[in-house]
Structures are given as structure tokens and as C-alpha cells.
């Protein structure tokens, strides 16, 4: 494009912006359209983006965002940016203008009354980190279709991201990305697809920028973890070559290789494809080195020794490069000593030759794009290994099926034999049955459920079980719907099993929908759960509880199922609640400075935690043992009042509060 | 009395009458450009608008009275009382449904009951035609209809008069509601079968014979019964495109048109404000009166007037609506009233030719044309096209400006057929 034309566009934009600037507050909307129009013309080129950025410090005061969703910069949320950019038309134009304003704040060009430059930079970092696919367009089918249908918009947002990328310190960006990866992997999820694609993005990012020195090593670690952390693997693109090379290694070298790979796995929770090759090789040729490759604890080593034949068989059937992530599950499973539950061994054996129903087989096979000749049994077995090794790594994916995920996780922890009963029933018979108040409920007789269209990005066990569990849970809730009390009281013990206590308390009065006697509710929870008030009864099995999910502003978004795993005192003397969150992305900001952490506060792999009172402020229902209560009256009024305040000023705004 | 004393006295005076002095102009209806115009004139004002705008007005410190214009009852007097209490003395109607409200208010403000009756003339297309005809203004054949039978008879009689025989193509007649703006509810009827599409809710309506000739509109700013400024808007295609001022061919007829409008002003006894009459002109220079409105015209005509002549038509309307505006103020405000402008300002109103919009495409050739100024179209986020009411809800407007009326006309004709939405 000739610069004459560009000049004309700049003039026209300047004119439109000036007119908007001059307009009275009530008249802004009459002038905004022209600004958006001229801005969209400038967005057609990189030069134009530059020009727009030059003016961005004036946008907000001129009224570019007046009376619209982008008005208040401090209320904007990075995860929503992608949605606006992908919307046709106006929204994507204003979104870009708003992000240019952020950049202006971040660069110190614009002194914003309610947002600091660091905050703005953080916002943009997160936006970039969440939208790396726009920065490095993939060649996936989905991206391709989107590109064709939406060419103009995608061009515009891609161009914007290219521009933003040149203006943002790539150090900060890679930092954000690293944090995001660390945060997700701290929970040791079974499904690592999303993390792997983020790591691949990070790699492109490092290749595309000279900077990022400080973040390099941290990200390199993850890149190596998925591509092959050992020098031997690095120079071998082909896994078959790698296998051949293994044969030539000396004992010493082999041991070293095993250590490098297992250290990387321990460190990141990610398994390189080479690792699976190594484990298969060792189990056949050097069984004594297997424990090095899995970096087992003493307990794990003992378990391996005791059950070596079975482990060898599991490796042979279940561990392939494509299912390599199960190596981590295998190691954790040995460390946990799952084999000591007597039904586990025959239960696992049964899976190897299980006659899987065709439709289940199809789902399992479809879950792997690059199957490399895997059978459905291999996939299912690898999934079972993962679940038994990482019970807290079970996630609900993109489905509203937190209850089912919570069940699988609970059984994997405390009833692996039972879980190993359910899986073949579902995979082979297409039916499972659970008893509810004496009557069996068969999933094959039920329709619907919470997720009639299950999103299939799930671990193999969830893929097989969730459709059944979801329908049964839903059926149980339907059966108690008219009892005038929260149905979870009866459904949870029936669904999850006898591990769930029968005492139950709910913060919402089910008939009137009001919050009644909140202080009493809080005191009961303290008296049954807080070590200082509950006569030292320890929590033995996970307690399935309901929580209010709130956003960063404390606004109620919905209800969610998590499990309290344990309650413990941290060195500072405070008590924290450690819990399992089936959404596998637990460290979200719940508003009022309540931010669950996944590491750094004594969390074990897969746990999230919050200070005791903060967790209680979001709790809406819990089970307790009526025979194990301490002193409710002993709970200090200040504690109860503080929690009540947090509750009232967040989710409580949506409810009527009744004092009795 | 010393100077400082004088100042002091002035100040006290101001403080005392803060609410009432100087008097307020009441804008009847809701229009941001009109509010802005009044604000820029530094005239204190109050807006009488639909109650849903109250929040916006409050947020922006706009003096506001929420009013439901459809509701006529003994409470209507309240509006006058409220406005009087606030110190309002002039009412300016912004859209069709407000014309008689402004008329009623102004007749109270000025103590001239007839002002209201005159405004009613402008709100009933049947009465309007009759009045024009009585005053000797040329109009087509028209009649009011109360049933489908009336429409059938009118269609038949008009075509009989045209000496059509069995099998000849009928000349169309036009039917429209008596009291709606511009083209809202307008339809042309050629065949008796089309009459069946009318429903009871459409009656009573006005029927007119079809008038041949070039259609155009005028925007005449009237003060003390005199035309202060006359604009002629040339229609390229009714409801789709028009430009300001008219091309030389039509502007040549300006003296004739001016006379016709003064005749109309006199006949309708219009004293203040803006009128927007529509005429048909035959090649031999005969003018047929179509209809007239006393409000902001559609088709972005006020925007075009501002672009072509450089004054705000909204401000002109407000100034001319106010009996207190002086001759001098008006002379300073308006440019010379001769139809001469530096260029032609035109606009094309875009209507999708499809029912579901996939994408928006504005051709480079148009965007880069020296006449192209701007458009306001964005890719819609949802593609379904809304049903059209009158010509009101077009999907966007393209504004053009240039020195040659023929180029303007060609551009408007060319792009009227273009599919911007696909």
C-alpha cells in the first residue's frame, strides 16, 4: 500500500478521534462508529497498528470505550479476549483498541487512574500466553477451517498479536507461559495434551525471539521433557534408532540414561516417548534397572520386586511411546503400593484380555490420533495405570461431570478393587449398576445425564466410565428431587459408597432458597472438621463437598463439586484445607483475595489448598459424622463473623439471608 | 450606580432565576444529534422523551422528562405544567409522533390555540391533502379509505379515468397510513388481489393516484412565516439514496419551488420550525404536492445539509422554532440562500439483498474513490436480516461528497445495486 494512502487513513483516523474527543459525554456514541471504522482500516497493516498504538494513550479519555463492556480497564479479563477477537465485526475491533490501551498503560504512555503499568503488562502477558495459537498459527484442521471461514478477522487478530509480540518483553511472556505450565503440571494431571501444546508454543516463542535469557533454562526443561531429555535421545529423531542405540550402551551408560529420563519425569511430571522405549527395553533386558528408570521409593522398589511378573506384563501391554505418560502413573502406582489390595492384581489381568464393546473401542481408539498400532486394551490399561497411580490427576475435561470425576478419583484412592469392577462392566457389558436405597439402578436403562454430549478429551478410564456414572448420578438426584431437602444428602453416600458420612448440612434452605442460620452452619463445620474444635477426629476418607464458584470479583458463577482430602497446620500455625478439584486447573482467583494454591503451601501432587476460613466462605454443603462432633460453641465469634462477611459479599449477594 | 454594583445586581438576578432564566427549549422526542446541537448553541434545554432514556439522561446530567407519547388522556396537561414550571417556552418536535405534542405545547406557550390545530394538519395525511387542495396547490387524486371495498373502488375508478380497457396493465395507486412517518406502511397496489393483503389494522388509510415525474424533497427553515433557508434534496432512489443540494437541472427550478413552498407555508399557516415537503416535478415544470412533515427528515438529510452547507440543520431547526430568535441571529447563522454549496453531499442507505448475511464486502474501488467519505457498516455478529419497516432500519449508510452532481448520481446508482452483504 502506498504511503500516501496510509497518510490519508491516518488523517481520517486522527480526525475521527479528535471529533470523538471533543464530543460531550452524552454524544460519544455518535462519534465512536467513525473511530472504529477508521481504526479497522488502519488495522489492515502493521504500520497501521503502530499508528493506532501511537494514539492509544488518548483512547480512553476520548471516549472510545464509553458506555460499553470495555469501559473499565480494571474489570477486563484476559481469558475473554480470545472470544471477542474471534467474534465477527465490531467486537474484535474494539477488543484490539482496548488491548492497545493496555499496552499504552503498560509502557507508561498513559497514566490510568485505576490500573498500574505492571498490572497492564501482566494482563497482556496473559493474553499472549493464552493466545499463542494466534501468534504461531497452527496447521490443525480446526485452525484451518476457522481461517477459511473467518479470514479477515483472523488476519486482523494475528496481525495484532504479531505487533503486540514485538512490543512485549518476551522475557515476561515466556515467564507467564512458564508459570502457566508449572501451575498446571504441579497438579500432575493425567491428561497433558494442553500442557504439551503450550510447551510446543513456548518452543516456537524461544526460537522467535533473541531475548528471554532468564526464562530459557526453565522452559528448556519442559521442552526436553517432552522431546527427550537425554543426549542419546536428542540426537535420535527416530524411536526405533533410539531403541537400537540402547542395545549398544554399557551398563553404566544405561543407568545414566535411566536416571536422566526419570529425573526429568520426576521434575516435570511429563514423560518423553523415549522413556517408554527405555522402560520396555529394561523390563525385558535389564529388569534390575527398572526401578532407576521409574525412580521408585523404597516402598516402590519392594512392590516392584514382589510383583515383577505382573509389572512386566503391564509394561508389555500398556506402555508404548504413544501411551508413555502412563510410565509416570506406573511409578506412582508402585510407590503407592496399590498391588497390596488383593482384588487389584486379578482386576488388572482381566483388563489385558477384556472383550471391549465396539463402541467403547472406537471411543478409546479415537482418543489417540497417532495410534501406532495400539489396541483398545492397551489404551484402557494405560489409562487404568495412570488413574491408580495418580488418583488426583483425574479431570472432568470440558464436561460438567465433576461428580463422576470425583468418584473415579475417590475409588482409585481407597477402593481400587471396586474401580476395577466397574471398568470391565462398562467396557465389556455397556452397563454398570449402583444400588440406591435397595434398588439397583442400571445405566443402560437411562438416557441423558448432565453431559449427553460428552466432550471426549478425557483419560481412558473417564472415557469409559463417565457416561454411565453421569447418568446414574443424575437419576439418583431425580429420584430425590421432591423430598424437600438437598438430595446430595442421600445421593452422595449411595453414589460414592460407604466412605461418605451420612451427616449432611447445606447452607441454602431448599424450600425457601434462603440462607438461614449461617453462623450455625459455619460452627458445625468447624466442630466437625477443624482440629482445634473437633476433638481431634481425623478426616479419613475424602469428604465430597459442594462449593460456590465465584469469579475474580467474587460474583457467583455456579456450583462445583470438590473433595476435602485433609486438613493440616502449616508452619505459620494456620490451618489449611487440602482438596481435590476435578477441574485440574485449581489455582483460579475466586475474588476477595481468595486464591487456591497448588504448590508452596504443603500441597501434595494434585492437591489444592486454601486457608481454612477462606475455604469455608465458599462451602455450600458438606458431609460429617454425627458421632464425631466437637464443640461448636467454642468457635470464636470473630471467625464466624469474618466468614459470614466474605460469604455475604460474594455469592451471598445472590441470596436472601434470614437471621433466626 | 457604579459598575461593580451593576455586576452584583446581575448576579443576584441570575441566582434568583437559575431555573427559569433564560427560558428552556423543550426538545420533544429523543435524538442525540438534536441534544448535541442545542447544547452547542448554549441554549438551556430539557428533553421530553420516552421514559427508557431516563437513566442515560441522568448519567449525563441532561434535564429530562420521561413521557409516553402514545398515551393521550386528561393527564396530558401535566406535561405542559411540568415544562412551564421548569421555565420552558419553546417546543421542538424531533420525530413524527411528537409533532402534535409540540404543537399543543407551543399553542399553550404562545397562547395561540390554532398552533395546535395546524400541527394536526401535518399529522393527518388526508386532511393535509384536502387543505392543500383547498389552497389551490396541485395534488393528485386522493381519498380516504375505511375498508377494502373503498380501495377496490378507488383503484377501479382511477384506472377507468385513465381510459384503461380490460387487459391493460393498471396504473398503481398508493396507500399509506394517515399518520405515519415517510414511507412507513406505504404500499403500491396495481391489482385487486393485492388489496387482500391489507388488514383491518391498516384502516383508515389514504389512497392516492400515482404521480409521474421526478420526486424530491425540500427542507425549508421557517421563521415568522418566512423561508429563511431552503434546501432541495434530490432523490436518486426513494429510500435508498439522495443528495444535497439538488443537481443544476433541479436547482434551475428553485424560484418555482420556492414559490410553491411559500404558498404551502401560507396555506398551512406555518410560522416556525422546519418543514419537509415532498413534490413531484414533471418535465414541463409542473409541481405536484406529495406530502409535508414538520420534523427531522429521514435519509440522513440533516447530515447531508451540514456537510454541504456547513451549518447544523438541527441548530437551524431549533433557532427557527424559537419566536425569540432575532433576524440578525438568523442572518449570521444561515449562508446565502441560493442553493449554492461547495460540493454535493450524498448518501446511500444499504439494504441487504439476502436473508442471511455471511460477510460484509465494501469494494476497494468505492473506498478509494475520491468521493467516498465514510460508511458505518460492520460485519454483523449474527447474520439474520431483520424485517424492514418503512425505510428506517437499513443496515448501514455510505456517505459521499464531491463537486459534480452527475458523478454523485452515477455512484449512487451504481452502488445501489451492489451487494455489500453476502
Q: Which three cell numbers stand for residue A536?
A: 481431634
Residues B147 and B277 in one domain: no
Task: Give the residue from A390, A161, A368 showing the smallest Cα distance to A270.
Answer: A390
Residue A30: list chain B partners with CB under 8 A: 32-33, 36
CB B179 within 8 A of CB B246: no
Full strand arrangement of the beta sheet holding A543-550: A503-506, A619-624, A543-550, A556-569, A575-580, A608-611
CB A414 within 8 A of CB A500: no
Residues 384-403 of chain B with CB under 8 A from chain A are none
What distance in Å separates the CA atoms of residue B152 and residue B156, rounded to the nearest whole number?
A: 6
CB B309 within 8 A of CB B335: yes
Residues B345 and B196 in one domain: no
Query: Which pLDDT belongs to residue B19?
Result: 44
In chain B, what is the straight-line distance between the N-terminal and C-terminal CA atoms, in Å? 76
Residues B280 and B403 in one domain: yes
pLDDT digits (tens, 9 = 90+) for B145-192: 888 888 888 888 888 877 777 777 777 888 888 777 666 677 778 888
- Cis ω on the peptide bond leading into residue B128 (within 30° of 0)? no
What distance in Å separates the CA atoms of residue A68 and residue A264, rounded to the nearest whole number?
A: 48
ipTM of the predicted structure? 0.81
Nearest to B376 among A33, A93, A153 (CB): A33
Residues B203 and B235 in one domain: no
What distance in Å separates the CA atoms of residue A431 and residue B92, rounded to the nearest whole number?
A: 75
Task: Give the residue from A542, A558, A457, A453 showing the smallest Cα distance to A501.
Answer: A542
Select the residue from A24, A63, A151 to test the B interface by mutation, using most B Cβ atoms within 10 A: A24
Query: Which pLDDT belongs to residue B306?
Result: 95
What distance in Å separates the CA atoms of residue A245 and residue A252, rounded to the nearest whole number?
A: 14
What distance in Å separates the CA atoms of residue B391 and residue B376, rounded to the nearest whole number?
A: 17
Q: What are the b/e assignments for B254-279, b being 16+ CB within 10 Å? A: beebbebbbbbbebbebbbbbbbbbb
CB A158 within 8 A of CB A137: yes
Task: Give the residue from A597, A608, A531 showing the smallest Cα distance to A565.
Answer: A608
Residues B301 and B187 in one domain: no
Scanning the structure block, which residue is given the C-alpha cell 449508510? B397
Query: Which of B209, B244, B260 is where one domain is finished?
Result: B209
List CB contacts of A134: < 8 A, sequence separation 6 or more: A82, A85, A154, A157, A158, A161
Q: Which three cell numbers stand for residue A467?
A: 457416561
* Local mean pLDDT, 10-residue blocks, chain A (660 residues): 72 95 92 93 90 95 91 85 82 93 94 89 86 65 48 71 82 80 89 86 75 69 88 76 89 92 93 93 92 92 93 94 93 92 91 91 83 86 95 86 91 93 94 91 81 78 93 91 86 90 88 88 93 86 90 82 92 93 77 90 92 94 89 89 93 84
Q: Which three cell numbers stand for residue A586?
A: 485449581
CB B407 within 8 A of CB B346: no
Residues B200 and B248 in one domain: no
CB atoms within 10 A of CB A361: 17
Query: Which pLDDT belongs to residue B404?
Result: 95
Query: Which of B150, B175, B209 is where one domain is finished?
Result: B209
Query: Which pLDDT belongs to residue B14?
Result: 42
Domain that residue B159 falls in: 141-209
Task: Give the residue from B250, B213, B212 showing the smallest Cα distance to B230.
Answer: B250
Residues 44-63 of chain B with CB under 8 A from chain A are 56-57, 60, 62
Select the residue from B31, B314, B378, B420 to test the A interface by mutation, using most A Cβ atoms within 10 A: B378
Residue B371: list chain A partners with CB under 8 A: none
Q: How far is A25 from chain B (nearest CA, A)?
A: 7
Residue B266 lies in a domain: yes
Nearest to B39 among A24, A93, A152 (CB): A24
What distance in Å separates the CA atoms of residue B263 and residue B286, rounded to the nearest whole number?
A: 15
Residue B8 lies in a domain: no
Q: How far is B400 from chain A (nearest CA, A)?
A: 14
Query: Which pLDDT belongs to residue A236?
Result: 67
In three state form, how does the secondary structure of A515-562 look?
A: EECHHHHHHHHHHHHCCCCCCCCCCCCCEEEEEEEECCCCCEEEEEEE
Q: How many helices (H) and strands (E) does chain B have?
A: 16, 16
* Structural Rg of chain B based on CA atoms: 23
- Give, in order, the Cα–Cα distances in Å from B341 to each of A364, A477, B245, B402: 75, 76, 7, 11
Q: Which three cell numbers stand for residue A163?
A: 505487533
Residues B293 and B340 in one domain: yes
**Cα nearest neighbour of B396 on chain A:** A33
Residues B258 and B354 in one domain: yes
Q: Which three cell numbers stand for residue A110?
A: 498513559
**The domain spanning residue B186 has which CATH number?**
3.30.1490.20
What distance in Å separates the CA atoms of residue B307 and residue B399, rounded to the nearest whole number?
A: 10
Query: Which pLDDT belongs to residue A406?
Result: 92
Q: Which three cell numbers stand for residue B181?
A: 412517518
Task: Give the residue from A21, A148, A130 showing the smallest Cα distance to A83.
Answer: A130
**Cα nearest neighbour of B357 on chain A:** A88
Residue A27: list chain B partners with CB under 8 A: 32-33, 35-36, 39
Question: Is B387's pLDDT higher than 70?
Answer: no
Residue A40: list chain B partners with CB under 8 A: 378
A27–B36 C-beta distance less than 8 A: yes
Residue B11 lies in a domain: no
What distance in Å separates the CA atoms of residue A578 and residue A602, rounded to the nearest whole number?
A: 9
Select the residue from A25, A88, A148 to test the B interface by mutation, using most B Cβ atoms within 10 A: A88
Residue A25: list chain B partners with CB under 8 A: 60
Please count the structural domains in chain B. Answer: 3
**The domain spanning residue B28 has which CATH number?**
3.40.50.720
B379–A152 C-beta distance less than 8 A: yes
Residue B14 lies in a domain: no
CB burial of residue A537 (10 Å; 0-12, 13-18, 19+): middle
Residue B36: list chain A partners with CB under 8 A: 23-24, 26-27, 30
Please tell me whether residue A142 adopts helix, strand or coil conformation: helix
B32–A89 C-beta distance less than 8 A: no
Residue A23: list chain B partners with CB under 8 A: 36
Residues B218 and B347 in one domain: yes
Residue B3 lies in a domain: no
Residue B233 lies in a domain: yes
Select the residue from A5, A22, A26, A96 to test the B interface by mutation, using most B Cβ atoms within 10 A: A26
Residues B154 and B95 in one domain: no
CB A283 within 8 A of CB A315: yes
B32–A25 C-beta distance less than 8 A: no
Please tell me whether residue B177 adopts helix, strand or coil conformation: strand
Rounded to 10 degrees, what is the CA torsion of A327, A330, A332, A338? 170
Q: Which three cell numbers stand for residue B227?
A: 423561508
Residues B47 and B159 in one domain: no
Residues B168 and B87 in one domain: no
Scanning the structure block, which residue is given the C-alpha cell 399518520? B179
% of chain B exceeding 90 in pLDDT: 46
B374–A26 C-beta distance less than 8 A: no
Higher per-residue pLDDT: B61 or A87? B61
pLDDT digits (tens, 9 = 90+) for B328-380: 999 999 998 887 888 999 999 988 777 777 778 889 899 889 999 999 888 77
User: E strands, A439-480, where?
Assistant: 439-442
**Cα nearest neighbour of B382 on chain A:** A88
Secondary structure (DSSP) of B23-42: PEEEEES--HHHHHHHHHTT
Q: Which conformational region is residue A397 in: left (phi greater than 0), alpha (psi within -120 to 50 degrees), or beta?
A: left
Phi and psi (nearest 5°) for A484?
75, 10
**Vertex A597: Cα angle to A596 and A598 (nearest 5):** 130
CB B337 within 8 A of CB B405: no
Query: Which pLDDT belongs to residue B382?
Result: 58
**The domain spanning residue B244 has which CATH number?**
3.30.470.20
CB B88 within 8 A of CB B102: no
Q: Which three cell numbers stand for residue B289?
A: 404536492
Residue B286 lies in a domain: yes
Residue A29: list chain B partners with CB under 8 A: 32
Select the residue from A11, A33, A36 to test the B interface by mutation, using most B Cβ atoms within 10 A: A33
Chain-centroid distance of CA A42 in Å reads 38
Q: How many CB pairs under 8 A join A and B?
A: 49
Q: Is B378 on the interface with A (CB under 8 A)?
A: yes
Residue B63, CB-side half-sphere exposure with 13 Å CA sphere: 17
Residue B150 lies in a domain: yes
Amino acid at each position: 500500500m502506498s504511503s500516501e494512502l496510509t497518510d490519508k487513513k491516518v488523517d481520517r483516523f486522527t480526525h475521527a478521534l479528535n471529533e470523538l474527543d471533543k464530543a460531550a459525554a452524552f454524544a460519544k456514541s455518535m462519534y465512536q462508529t467513525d473511530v472504529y471504522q477508521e481504526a479497522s482500516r488502519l488495522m489492515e497493516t502493521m504500520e497501521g497498528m503502530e499508528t493506532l498504538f501511537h494514539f492509544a494513550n488518548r483512547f480512553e479519555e476520548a471516549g472510545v470505550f464509553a458506555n460499553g463492556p470495555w469501559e473499565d480497564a480494571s474489570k477486563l479479563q484476559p481469558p475473554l479476549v480470545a472470544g471477542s477477537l474471534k467474534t465477527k465485526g465490531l467486537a474484535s475491533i474494539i477488543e484490539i483498541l482496548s488491548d492497545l490501551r493496555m499496552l499504552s498503560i503498560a509502557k507508561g504512555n498513559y497514566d490510568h487512574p485505576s490500573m498500574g503499568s505492571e498490572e497492564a503488562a501482566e494482563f497482556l502477558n496473559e493474553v499472549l500466553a493464552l493466545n499463542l495459537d494466534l501468534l504461531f498459527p497452527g496447521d490443525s484442521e480446526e485452525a484451518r477451517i476457522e481461517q477459511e471461514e473467518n479470514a479477515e478477522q483472523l488476519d486482523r487478530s494475528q496481525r495484532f498479536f504479531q505487533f503486540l509480540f514485538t512490543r512485549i518483553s518476551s522475557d515476561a511472556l515466556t515467564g507467564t507461559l512458564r508459570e502457566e505450565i508449572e501451575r498446571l503440571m504441579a497438579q500432575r494431571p493425567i491428561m497433558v495434551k494442553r500442557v504439551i501444546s503450550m510447551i510446543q508454543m513456548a518452543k516456537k516463542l524461544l526460537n522467535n525471539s533473541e531475548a528471554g535469557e532468564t526464562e530459557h533454562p526453565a522452559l528448556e526443561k519442559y521442552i526436553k521433557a517432552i522431546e527427550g531429555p537425554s543426549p542419546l535421545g536428542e540426537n535420535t529423531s527416530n524411536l526405533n534408532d533410539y531403541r537400537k542405540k540402547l542395545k549398544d550402551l554399557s551398563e553404566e551408560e544405561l543407568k545414566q540414561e535411566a536416571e536422566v529420563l526419570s529425573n526429568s519425569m520426576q521434575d516435570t511430571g511429563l514423560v518423553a516417548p523415549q522413556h517408554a522405549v527405555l522402560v520396555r527395553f529394561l523390563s525385558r533386558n535389564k529388569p534390575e534397572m527398572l526401578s532407576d528408570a521409574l525412580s521408585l521409593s523404597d516402598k516402590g522398589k519392594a512392590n516392584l520386586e514382589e510383583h515383577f511378573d505382573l509389572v512386566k506384563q503391564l509394561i508389555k501391554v500398556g506402555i508404548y511411546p504413544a501411551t508413555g505418560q502412563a510410565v509416570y502413573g506406573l511409578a506412582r502406582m508402585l510407590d503407592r503400593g496399590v498391588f497390596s489390595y488383593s482384588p487389584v492384581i486379578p482386576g488388572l489381568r482381566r483388563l489385558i484380555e477384556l472383550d471391549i464393546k465396539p463402541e467403547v473401542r472406537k471411543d478409546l481408539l479415537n482418543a489417540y490420533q497417532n495410534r501406532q498400532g495400539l489396541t483398545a486394551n492397551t489404551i484402557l490399561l494405560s489409562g487404568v495405570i495412570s488413574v491408580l497411580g495418580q488418583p488426583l490427576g483425574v479431570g472432568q475435561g470440558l464436561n460438567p461431570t465433576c461428580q463422576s470425576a470425583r468418584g473415579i478419583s475417590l475409588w482409585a484412592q481407597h477402593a481400587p478393587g471396586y474401580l476395577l469392577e466397574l471398568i470391565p462392566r462398562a467396557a465389556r457389558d455397556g452397563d454398570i449398576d449402583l444400588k440406591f436405597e435397595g434398588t439397583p439402578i442400571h445405566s443402560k436403562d437411562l438416557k441423558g445425564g448432565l453431559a449427553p454430549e460428552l466432550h471426549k478429551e478425557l483419560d481412558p478410564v473417564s472415557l469409559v466410565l463417565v457416561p454411565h456414572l453421569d447418568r446414574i448420578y443424575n437419576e439418583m438426584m431425580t429420584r430425590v428431587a421432591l423430598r424437600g431437602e438437598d438430595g446430595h444428602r442421600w445421593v452422595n453416600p449411595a453414589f460414592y459408597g460407604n466412605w461418605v458420612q451420612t451427616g449432611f448440612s447445606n447452607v441454602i434452605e431448599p424450600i425457601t432458597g434462603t440462607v438461614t442460620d449461617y453462623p450455625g452452619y459455619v460452627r458445625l463445620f468447624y466442630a466437625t472438621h477443624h482440629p482445634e474444635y473437633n476433638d481431634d477426629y481425623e478426616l479419613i476418607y475424602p469428604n465430597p463437598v459442594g462449593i460456590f464458584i465465584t469469579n475474580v470479583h467474587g460474583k457467583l458463577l455456579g456450583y462445583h463439586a470438590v473433595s476435602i482430602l485433609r486438613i493440616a497446620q502449616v508452619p505459620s500455625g494456620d490451618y489449611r484445607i487440602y482438596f481435590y478439584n476435578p477441574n485440574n486447573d485449581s489455582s483460579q482467583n475466586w475474588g476477595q483475595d481468595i486464591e487456591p494454591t497448588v504448590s508452596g503451601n504443603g500441597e501434595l501432587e494434585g492437591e489444592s489448598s486454601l486457608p481454612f476460613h477462606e475455604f469455608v466462605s465458599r462451602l455450600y454443603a458438606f458431609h460429617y459424622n454425627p458421632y464425631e462432633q466437637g464443640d461448636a460453641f467454642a468457635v470464636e465469634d470473630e471467625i464466624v463473623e469474618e466468614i459470614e462477611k466474605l460469604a455475604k459479599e460474594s455469592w451471598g449477594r445472590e441470596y436472601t439471608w434470614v437471621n433466626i | 450606580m457604579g459598575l461593580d454594583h451593576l455586576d452584583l445586581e446581575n448576579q443576584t438576578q441570575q441566582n434568583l432565576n437559575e431555573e427559569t432564566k433564560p427560558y428552556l427549549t423543550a426538545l420533544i422526542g429523543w435524538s442525540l444529534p438534536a441534544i448535541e446541537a442545542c447544547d452547542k448553541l448554549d441554549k438551556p434545554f430539557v428533553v421530553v422523551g420516552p421514559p427508557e432514556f431516563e437513566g442515560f439522561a441522568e448519567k449525563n446530567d441532561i434535564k429530562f422528562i420521561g413521557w409516553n407519547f402514545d398515551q393521550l388522556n386528561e393527564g396530558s396537561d401535566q406535561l405542559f405544567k411540568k415544562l412551564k414550571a421548569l421555565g420552558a417556552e419553546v417546543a421542538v418536535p424531533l420525530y413524527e409522533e411528537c409533532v402534535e405534542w409540540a404543537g399543543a405545547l407551543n399553542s399553550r406557550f404562545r397562547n395561540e390555540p390554532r398552533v395546535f390545530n395546524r400541527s394536526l394538519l401535518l399529522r393527518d395525511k388526508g386532511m393535509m391533502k384536502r387543505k392543500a387542495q383547498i389552497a389551490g396547490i396541485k395534488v393528485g387524486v386522493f381519498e380516504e379509505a375505511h375498508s377494502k371495498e373503498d380501495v377496490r373502488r378507488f383503484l377501479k375508478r382511477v384506472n377507468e379515468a385513465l381510459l384503461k380497457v380490460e387487459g391493460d396493465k393498471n396504473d398503481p395507486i398508493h396507500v399509506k397510513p394517515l399518520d405515519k412517518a415517510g414511507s412507513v406502511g406505504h404500499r403500491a397496489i396495481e391489482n385487486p388481489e393485492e388489496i387482500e393483503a391489507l388488514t383491518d389494522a391498516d384502516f383508515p388509510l389514504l389512497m392516492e393516484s400515482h404521480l409521474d415525474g421526478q420526486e424530491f424533497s425540500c427542507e425549508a427553515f421557517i421563521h415568522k412565516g418566512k423561508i429563511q433557508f431552503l434546501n432541495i434534496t434530490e432523490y436518486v432512489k426513494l429510500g435508498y439514496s439522495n443528495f444535497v443540494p439538488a443537481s443544476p437541472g433541479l436547482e434551475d427550478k428553485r424560484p418555482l419551488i420556492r414559490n410553491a413552498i411559500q404558498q404551502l407555508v401560507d396555506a398551512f399557516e406555518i410560522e416556525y420550525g422546519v418543514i419537509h415537503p415532498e413534490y413531484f416535478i414533471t418535465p414541463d415544470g409542473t409541481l405536484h404536492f406529495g406530502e409535508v412533515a414538520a420534523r427531522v427528515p429521514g435519509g440522513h438529510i440533516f447530515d447531508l445539509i451540514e456537510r454541504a452547507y456547513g451549518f447544523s440543520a438541527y441548530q437551524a431547526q431549533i433557532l427557527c422554532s424559537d419566536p425569540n430568535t432575532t433576524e440578525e441571529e438568523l442572518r449570521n447563522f444561515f449562508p446565502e440562500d441560493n442553493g449554492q454549496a461547495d460540493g454535493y453531499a450524498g448518501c446511500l442507505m444499504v439494504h441487504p439483498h439476502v436473508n442471511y448475511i455471511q460477510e460484509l464486502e465494501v469494494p476497494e474501488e468505492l473506498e478509494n474513490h475520491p468521493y467516498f467519505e465514510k460508511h458505518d457498516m460492520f460485519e454483523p455478529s449474527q447474520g439474520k436480516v431483520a424485517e424492514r419497516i418503512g425505510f428506517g432500519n437499513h443496515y448501514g449508510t455510505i456517505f459521499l461528497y464531491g463537486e459534480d452532481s452527475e458523478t454523485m448520481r452515477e455512484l449512487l446508482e451504481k452502488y445501489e445495486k451492489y451487494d455489500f452483504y453476502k
